[in-house]
Structure 1
Amino acid sequence: MPPMSAPPDLRTGTEGVDRRGALKLFAAGAAALATGCRPQEQMLPYVDMPESGASSDAAFFATALPLAGAARGVLVESHQGKPTKVHGNPDHPASLGGTDVFAEAELLALFDPSRSTSPIAGQAPVTWSAAAQRLRAAAGPGTALLTGPVASPTLARQIGALLDEVPGLRWFTERPAQPALEVQAGPGAMDRMQLWPDWDRTDVVVTLGADPLGPGPGQVALTRGWSRSRRNRRSAARLFAFEPVPTLTGTKADYRMAVRPEDLPGIAEALRAALDGGSDVPAPVARAAEALSAAPGRAVVLPGPDLPIETQALIDEINRTLDAPLARLAPAWRWPSLAQEDAGALTDAIASGEVERLVVLGANPAYTLGEAFEEAARDIEILHFGERRDETAAMAALHGPLHHPLEDWSDLRALDGSAALVQPLIEPLHETRSAHEVVEMLRGRTGTGPRALVQETWRAEWGEDFDARWHEALSRGVIEGFPVGTVSPDWPADTAVSETPDGAFAHVRQLSTSVLSGEYAPNGWLQECPAPLTKQVWGNAASFAPVDAERLGIEEGDTVVLRGGGTFARLPAVILSGQAEGTVGTTLGYGRKAAGAIGSGVGMNTAPLGPRVDVERVDGGAELIRTQREFGQHDRDLLRSVTDAEAGLESEHHQPASFYRERDHDSPSWGMVIDTDVCSGCNACMIACQSENNVPVVGPEEVARGRHMHWIRIDTYDLPGEDRRGFQPVPCMHCEKAPCEPACPVAASVHDEQGLNAQVYNRCVGTRFCQANCPYQVRRFNFFDYSDSQAYADLGADLLQAMRNPDVSVRGRGVMEKCTYCVQRIEAANHAASREDRPIADGEVVTACQSACPAEAITFGDVTDPESAVSRAKENPRHYALLEHLGTRPRTTYLARVAPGAEEDEGA
């Protein structure tokens, strides 16, 4: 299904004048880029406006965005030459039409005023020609190149040529932190493989510390594959999770068991014994083994990235015995033909004098490698190239700003091995360069732009078919027929499970669902995006099992100090149901010192603490800012559940009696159904809505007052009797009997002819009566002029104006805001259907939250059409309305989650 009401226009442009950049964004400020090594490509205003050039029309372009060293294919919506919205590309295997929070937030990263704008040496600006001279002088023995994870075939080709041309040059690679299903494939640090399950052939999944539905470059594809598998084979599909700290995967598991990290190897051994016919194993393990045995060729065991190599080898043996539908692929960042070294060895190489100069390209070792790197690298020359002045740039003799991916030409591999082209959506906003150009400078070459460099790679690959295949790849956003590398693991001969030392708490470090491993810390949308299970924003916390919190006298919001690895971290405490006793959970990516005005000083860096920590409760010093503070349902059936054996809910389609007459609606009349059984709480819908509807960031102080502005939230509830939490997205309910409407003294809240509960912003006077009358609490009040004067005020809010969706008004201070079912998309479909004299087709209107959802949990359409997808969803026996006893007749309704039966779940 295309992401917008109109079919995507995947035009690729032509040689010479690039019509995608037909209008320069800033005629005065960005018209003249400083001279340097890159020849400027010509971008001119329109002479004759093309049909799609009107302000209300959007063009779509296929490209790819990197995340932790791998690609996700996207379609980027463009209005008059500037990108305004990111959508998933249905043709790309790493997105399949969905997005994640990081892809949606790339627009803010592009227009972020805190990005670096020009090269500097020390505190003095320099030209790119001077930067190129310093790079050429640095190329020689004693020099090391440190990059982030390189998933670009073109960049890998350039680095290979560089290594051949410069004797003694060494290449170190920063591997992505804990990517989903990337595990050891041998004893070396670079011996890694990416596991990729075939969900179409998978009925049973057992995870041992793995989080395939969690944040990372595989989240969208893995979540979509899992949700489709669950829908297609609900009676057979089963997910078993053994994990120390709750994950998104664990919340969706049919059977979940909390175990300490040191117990996971024993769980793997017990699973192997049970599959071999052993009976002396824990009941949950025996149940998982029974399900695996009953699905030969359709069952898989997924290991976590931190398991010992001996356990990884054992799980690989189990999967081969099961004939698991699982591919073992080379990681997207791994190039076996090149001499890649792990960044972990860089500090020792600098300290020993082997590395005298360091060129850093798209990496931040001062943060990722910590104080040891800073101490060792204090006296060497560092030339740093990145999108912003981070911790490493502060140490560097030279800093050069790089393009944002939406300004660049490149290519990228995805986790599944597929490749895609990266094409720019806009001319560079600042005096930046491509990473491809920087490597060419290091080679002593200038004058070749990134587009030509990428074309060189694929011209050699495609030969005479280059022109046709190049334009096809640009149009579709994926390269057909690119060879996918596989891995044959090289396991050590001794596979005995090693002993884990006793003492203190096991420290479980997880990727942040908001800032990943720190690279998204400068992004205000993501800092204000709540953690799914704790609802914390603007920082990280230490999570404890309830039994440990009681023993230590810790209450939620208390400050604790974690000590380990020769350092400490001071964090607020949260108590998390379903966490294993004896564990402390933290999230990575915080504690940045140089992440701009938005991300600097937010949270604490817990990576240096190591796998074991001591815990001490102290007074004050850490603040827990949350968008939700109560997780109990208090005997209200808000997030409902049914079991496999039940036909549906007892209160099926319950509609209370009303004194009001039924309101007749002509077609189309809109409604939405959200399937809580497959919603994984990933927050993609929330950031997609923020991007689509120009929802502002308000900052930590305002959130602490309860004034967050998100138009859709995801409520998280403790599930009675299941020792875990579940998710319920809550946009505006669009009630047919809306309590907000009669309360408004100026008729700013009204019902329209299409069944929408509309909000007339320029009529609202801010009485907030509608908010007080709304039982769902989905209305937001603009206490301040958040759009222009809050979190980004001192950074240059004018730059952010270009990012905003021109089809949605930017609300000023003193008005109520709310979800509108993306009425601008509805109106675009109405206009298109009217021009063509036809009705709107089912599925033609897709809301922003619906198009982003990787689990396809949201269905939207015309409720007056009995054959529409949304009408069929409302006939599902699991269908119910939130707070239906109030008689508001909401148009937004839900499907109950499916839980295992009480007898089946006993002991899990």
Structure 2
Amino acid sequence: MKGAGTSRRDALKLFSGGAAALIAGCRPAGAGIVPYRDMPEGMVPGKPLFFATSLPLAGAGRGVLIESHEGRPAKVHGNPAHPGSLGGTDVFAEAAVLDLFDPSRSTAPLREGRPTGWGALAAELARLSGTDGAVLLTGPVGSPTMARQIARLLTARPGLRHVSYRTAAPALCSDTHQLWPDWGALDAVVSVGADPLGPGPTQIAFAKGWAQARRDRRGVFRSHVFEAGPSLTGAHADRRTALRPSQMSAVAQALQAALDGGAVETPAVAAAARALQRADGRAAVLPGPDLSGAARAAVDRINARIGAPLRRLRPFDVWDDLAPEPVETLLQDMQSGQVPALIVLGANPVYDLGAGFAAAISRVPQRLHFGRHVDETANACIWHGPLHDPLEDWSDLRGPDGTVGLVQPLIAPLHDSRSAHEVLAMMQGPAAASPHAILRETWAEAWGMDGFEDRWMRALHDGVVAGTGPEEVAAAASAGPARPAAAPAGTLETTRCPSPSVLDGSFAANAWLQECPDPFTKQVWGNAVWLSPQDAGDIADGDLVELSSDGDRVILPAIVVKGQAQGCVTLHIGYGRDAAGPIGSGIGARVQDLGPFVTLRPTGERAALARVQSDFGQHGREILKLAHSVPSEPPAQRPSFYAPRESEGHAWGMVIDTDACIGCNACMIACQSENNIPVVGPDEIGRGRNMQWMRVDRYDLDTGGSGFQPVPCMHCEQAPCEPVCPVEASVHDSEGLNVQVYNRCIGTRFCQANCPYKVRHFNFYDYADKQAFENQGADLLQALRNPDVSVRARGVMEKCTYCVQRISAARREAKKENRDIADGEVVTACQAACPAEAIRFGDLNDPGAAVTAAKADPRHYTLLDELGTRPRTTYLARVVPGDEG
């Protein structure tokens, strides 16, 4: 089943009709979202407005600010006031605007694949909700309003059951509590299978804390990581040890024994124990999801003994008046035919839960699905109703730390969709209440009516509901997974983790994320089996292998990964979708049904791996410079016959701290969103072509981890690209920017050949329009474009511009106010997105600028300095201390 397309006329309506949320501080309470005839107060043509809202990820909220151009959401920024983002973003938040304008979204209600109306669907929904034994199935409930609605619905409908499940829980979160480290009070961290820097709702907040701890206590802060496959946390470890999942529990118990004075045979465990002891109350052990119940108890005892600065918070989806049943009980009841009706709200269990659920759902007589796409579950149901995108909806979301943020619409609904709150209201019968009214009712009950409007407008303005936040809970034992201690002979253990690009498959239809490289293998458009060099034998990258487990069989390409634990394979979930539109369908393979142990067999065939980097060595050059201690002064600049380039007024430059960069790719997707960069698709990637203006290279380190190096245009003062251009399309401006004049470029590609940093990209095709990949040339996506940046056509060279449109906007604002541009006034898209604050940008002629201070850092160095190109983009070295900690 596919939704109808959108014509150019429909797309143009969005420009004039989507005034969206207007201005939170000026909109009267309860006002609807309507097209404007007269210019709304506070809106200036050509000048964006910013609105605070929250975006869901695996059910939890992250606070963001949405940049809106004449009613069109165009760019996502982090909300500095929200503890879940602290001003940073992740790849999923940056790609949210593409999800909104996704041409494959569901556009109207369906019955058995044929269009129907909401009236018929609402009547059927209300009737089935009253059926004894009917089940409402949701993902994790992170909305206070939705929790309130479900609790009251269950009271009004005594025969209705509620079931929920998770697919990608926040890091350090169990069923009973969410661990929240106080990074500012930590000098030593030991991770036993945990990945606090990995993709998920906590990534932004944890990355900020982790990077700040390294920045503030670079000579003291130490991290020891035990893990099966490479992770972002392990990449940044001072000491990393690769172990199979079945060995993790033994590590936790050995750590406890070492702290009790016992002998420890494993050097890595002994070193970690010494680090915990030396930190003296400023250390913590972080447990991973593969730990057994006994090992989790050991970790709890260690943390209690060393006085770890860890808070145990209420999980974001746990509510006092809501106790959903486990999905395993539902599956058994479905298989035995005891479920007369199933109502799936905002989830895709047919894909998430696998073949067993897909077979069982056919035994349910009445099946209804509500979601943003006609996905695998919608295809298995009789009825389907489209839901609003979060940027079209009113709601609220609790963050992983407990802070609640309001969700407000930035644009009128593009399709005939409804809010999940409206669907829940329909389940009690005919309901005229809007999601706006339902949301206000929740907070009116919480606050009372005295001063309600002021509190409401303040929460809308700030994006954070005052008075909400961390709620500590008593420590409770967690059973942990029932995992056998060792693999049977002839098998390999498996470790499964969410994809850093498409998470649990929820983002499979997003082309930006499908083309976002895996941080370690740099694979795009698919997943693979990660093998250790010892287990690979004669298997090479791209060889197809068969994994079999308990009758389930998956065929995937192999990638040999340095740092993968021997005897174990790493698999990423989120791929193998059958109904994810033209972008996500048929990409990769689904691995969720495989058990903890698999048999691996080469098929003798090969697959074309789409990767943007395949060599991870430095070959004797200091591309990613390493410092084993912080140097006392920066290296001297190489002598040159060239005089420094003089800039008029400003001299823009950038410094990237490779010691802080965690390799999460948020900067890449932020740049893509800001600068209207198209995707090219897997075939073009296979030809060595891609259009991303910024890449994040990875290098293997002797510590067992990895180093990451973001590489935009260097903006060289002596740029090799400029003298070879026959039409002077590559030139310097008066402020030192290396600019590309698109309407002058004739496509010789001489500049690309002469660039030693390989940061220039050529439009071989009209990737943004007539020759776009799959549906990426749809008219609806024209509304997505940043109006401050041109959309390039075929036959021109393009590259990073230091977000020159933002520099220009700041210059105009400063000129209007008769002042100079202040330091920090110009923030590039990559800089704003970075959760680790690894990027500094500003005026090198300003002695007090942050970028000038970074240039004076003793770790400062120039990439390929021996070439004499004098880049304006430079780096700070990665600090790799010895094994003393």
Q: Among residues 474, 479, 494, which one is paired with 1:507 in the alignment?
A: 494
1:232 has 2:216 as partner: yes
Structure 1 distance, partners of 2:498, 2:124, is 36
Q: CA deviation at 1:536?
A: 0.1
- Corresponding residue for residue 846 of structure 1: 827
- Corresponding residue for residue 17 of structure 1: none
- Corresponding residue for residue 482 of structure 1: 468
Query: Which amino acid in 2 is paired with 1:583?
Result: C
Q: How does 1:758-797 map to 2 (within 5 A)?
A: 758-791=739-772, 793-794=774-775, 797=778
CA gap of 1:892–1:547, structure 2 versus 1, over 3 A, is: same
Query: Which amino acid in 1 is paired with 2:832?
Result: S
Q: Deviations over 1:708-756 (max 9, x none)?
A: 100000011122x333321110000000000001111111100001110
Query: Which amino acid in 1 is paired with 2:187?
Result: D
Q: CA deviation at 1:305?
A: 1.4
Mapped contact 1:143–1:356 kept (Cα < 8 A): yes
Q: Among residues 421, 426, 446, which one is paired with 2:411 in the alignment?
A: 426
Structure 2 distance, partners of 1:487, 1:469, is 27
Q: Deviations over 1:363-391 (max 9, x none)?
A: 11110111111111113221000000000
Q: Among residues 728, 732, 739, which one is paired with 2:720 in the alignment?
A: 739
Structure 2 distance, partners of 1:546, 1:654, is 41
Query: Which amino acid in 2 is paired with 1:477?
Result: G
Q: Among residues 95, 99, 108, which one is paired with 2:85 in the alignment?
A: 95
Structure 2 distance, partners of 1:412, 1:86, is 17
- Corresponding residue for residue 128 of structure 2: 138
1:685 has 2:667 as partner: yes
Q: How does 1:595-634 map to 2 (within 5 A)?
A: 595-620=580-605, 622-634=607-619
CA gap of 1:796–1:158, structure 2 versus 1, over 3 A, is: farther
Query: Which amino acid in 1 is paired with 2:141?
Result: V
Structure 2 distance, partners of 1:710, 1:50, is 37
CA gap of 1:805–1:28, structure 2 versus 1, over 3 A, is: closer
CA gap of 1:518–1:324, structure 2 versus 1, over 3 A, is: same
Identify unmatched segments of 5+ residues in structure 2.
1-11, 21-29
Query: Which amino acid in 1 is paired with 2:649?
Result: S
1:904 has 2:884 as partner: yes
Structure 2 distance, partners of 1:351, 1:508, is 28
Q: CA deviation at 1:686?
A: 0.1
Structure 2 distance, partners of 1:258, 1:331, is 29
1:413 has 2:414 as partner: no
Q: Deviations over 1:651-708 (max 9, x none)?
A: x0422422x3332113311000000001010000000000000000111101111111
Structure 2 distance, partners of 1:722, 1:212, is 19
CA gap of 1:784–1:67, structure 2 versus 1, over 3 A, is: same
1:157 has 2:139 as partner: no
1:819 has 2:800 as partner: yes
Structure 1 distance, partners of 2:471, 2:391, is 27
TM-score, structure 1 normalization = 0.92
1:118 has 2:108 as partner: yes
1:41 has 2:41 as partner: no
Q: How does 1:534-613 map to 2 (within 5 A)?
A: 534-550=521-537, 553-613=538-598
Q: CA deviation at 1:69?
A: 1.3
Three-state SS of the structure 2 residue aligned to 1:71 is strand
1:657 has 2:640 as partner: yes
Q: CA deviation at 1:51?
A: 5.2
Q: CA deviation at 1:287?
A: 1.6
Q: CA deviation at 1:492?
A: 7.6
Q: How does 1:249-648 map to 2 (within 5 A)?
A: 249-380=233-364, 381-463=366-448, 464-482=450-468, 484-491=470-477, 499-503=485-489, 504-550=491-537, 553-620=538-605, 622-644=607-629, 646-647=631-632
CA gap of 1:812–1:462, structure 2 versus 1, over 3 A, is: same
Q: Deviations over 1:242-280 (max 9, x none)?
A: 111110000001111111111111111110011112233
CA gap of 1:147–1:521, structure 2 versus 1, over 3 A, is: same
Mapped contact 2:542–2:606 kept (Cα < 8 A): no
Structure 2 distance, partners of 1:535, 1:361, is 34
With 610-619 and 276-285 compared, the bigger mean Cα shift is at: 276-285
1:860 has 2:860 as partner: no
Q: Deviations over 1:494-514 (max 9, x none)?
A: 999974453310101111000
- Corresponding residue for residue 218 of structure 1: 202
- Corresponding residue for residue 25 of structure 1: 14
Structure 1 distance, partners of 2:70, 2:479, is 61
Query: Which amino acid in 2 is paired with 1:99?
Result: T
CA gap of 1:468–1:51, structure 2 versus 1, over 3 A, is: closer
Structure 2 distance, partners of 1:314, 1:336, is 29
Identify unmatched segments of 5+ residues in structure 1.
1-22, 32-38, 184-190
Three-state SS of the structure 1 residue aligned to 2:499 is coil
Mapped contact 1:383–1:396 kept (Cα < 8 A): yes
Q: Among residues 696, 702, 717, which one is paired with 2:699 in the alignment?
A: 717
Identity score, percent: 56
Q: How does 1:791-810 map to 2 (within 5 A)?
A: 791=772, 793-794=774-775, 797-810=778-791
Structure 2 distance, partners of 1:834, 1:628, is 43
Mapped contact 1:539–1:590 kept (Cα < 8 A): yes
- Corresponding residue for residue 202 of structure 1: 186
CA gap of 1:28–1:712, structure 2 versus 1, over 3 A, is: closer
Structure 2 distance, partners of 1:350, 1:443, is 24
- Corresponding residue for residue 34 of structure 1: none
Q: CA deviation at 1:331?
A: 1.5
Mapped contact 1:674–1:895 kept (Cα < 8 A): yes
1:872 has 2:853 as partner: yes
CA gap of 1:607–1:494, structure 2 versus 1, over 3 A, is: closer
Mapped contact 1:560–1:571 kept (Cα < 8 A): yes
Query: Which amino acid in 2 is paired with 1:889?
Result: R
Query: Which amino acid in 2 is paired with 1:897?
Result: R
Three-state SS of the structure 1 residue aligned to 2:226 is strand
With 441-450 and 41-50 compared, the bigger mean Cα shift is at: 41-50
Query: Which amino acid in 1 is paired with 2:607?
Result: A
Q: Among residues 27, 40, 50, which one is paired with 1:60 in the alignment?
A: 50
With 625-634 and 805-814 compared, the bigger mean Cα shift is at: 625-634
Structure 2 distance, partners of 1:568, 1:748, is 54
Mapped contact 1:557–1:624 kept (Cα < 8 A): yes
- Corresponding residue for residue 895 of structure 1: 876
CA gap of 1:768–1:483, structure 2 versus 1, over 3 A, is: closer
Mapped contact 2:541–2:560 kept (Cα < 8 A): yes
Structure 2 distance, partners of 1:141, 1:45, is 47
With 390-399 and 286-295 compared, the bigger mean Cα shift is at: 286-295
Mapped contact 1:30–1:429 kept (Cα < 8 A): no
Query: Which amino acid in 1 is paired with 2:640?
Result: A
Q: CA deviation at 1:524?
A: 0.2
Query: Which amino acid in 2 is paired with 1:896?
Result: A
Mapped contact 2:733–2:739 kept (Cα < 8 A): yes
- Corresponding residue for residue 81 of structure 1: 71
Structure 2 distance, partners of 1:115, 1:79, is 22
- Corresponding residue for residue 14 of structure 1: none
Structure 2 distance, partners of 1:261, 1:711, is 38
Q: How does 1:167-182 map to 2 (within 5 A)?
A: 167-182=158-173
Query: Which amino acid in 2 is paired with 1:527?
Result: Q
Mapped contact 1:656–1:884 kept (Cα < 8 A): no
Structure 2 distance, partners of 1:76, 1:205, is 35
Three-state SS of the structure 2 residue aligned to 1:376 is helix
CA gap of 1:29–1:82, structure 2 versus 1, over 3 A, is: closer
